[in-house]
Amino acid sequence: MKFVSENIIDDVIEELEELPEGQYEQKMEAFAEAQPVLFAWLFSEHFDLLNEDEKGYLQYLALIAWNSIVKVNGVLEAVSEDQIGEAEEKNYEILEHTEGKKFRDRLDPFFESTDQEDLIAFAEEAVLEDEDDPESLVTKEGREPIFIALKTMIDALGEL
């Protein structure tokens, strides 16, 4: 997969923010059609421990990541359940073997083994944006599954 830069990610965010509501739904439908297994996984009971706001946020972040990847690489093959499972397992293994008191420090190893630093930084920023704010959209418990989901998605799409 070709490198997806921060500029591309910012452009996609801007485009999505400017869309009329109906067109946002069309973007989600296009994502679902292009990546049915990935989309179903993001909407599965796998993420039941997230609250409703976090689930919606994860889906929004996934849409940004997917649109950014497609913008640079064109339409990709649909990922399989096995690809998602393998990538997710590998990412949880990395996280389990990291040391650090702060969640941010535990994410450092994810930057060492990727050629998509800007997409990983986007995922990191998204879950840690308001980390010291008790009213933050992403709860302390939600950080890990949201980050791992985005990293897993990036890895699975990167294998194609």
Q: What does the pLDDT look like over 27-62, one tens digit per residue?
A: 999 999 999 999 999 999 999 999 999 999 999 999
Give, in degrees to the nearest 5, the angle at Cα 62 between 42 and 121: 125
Task: Evaluate whether residue 1 is within a structural domain.
Answer: no
Q: How many residues appear in the chain?
A: 160
Task: Evaluate whether residue 11 is within a structural domain.
Answer: yes
Instruction: Report how far apart the first and last C-alpha atoms of the chain are (Å, whole number).
Output: 7
Overall number of domains in the chain: 1
Task: Evaluate whether residue 84 is within a structural domain.
Answer: yes
Task: Evaluate whether residue 32 is within a structural domain.
Answer: yes
- pLDDT surpassing 70 at residue 140: yes
**Averaged over 17-30, what is the pLDDT?**
91
Task: Evaluate whether residue 68 is within a structural domain.
Answer: yes
Question: CA–CA distance from 10 to each of 5, 47, 68, 97, 128 (Å)?
Answer: 9, 26, 9, 32, 17
Q: What is the pTM of this model?
A: 0.94
Task: Evaluate whether residue 34 is within a structural domain.
Answer: yes
- Backbone Cα Rg of the chain: 15
Nearest Cα neighbor of 72 from 7, 140, 143, 127 is 7
The whole domain housing 100 covers 6-158
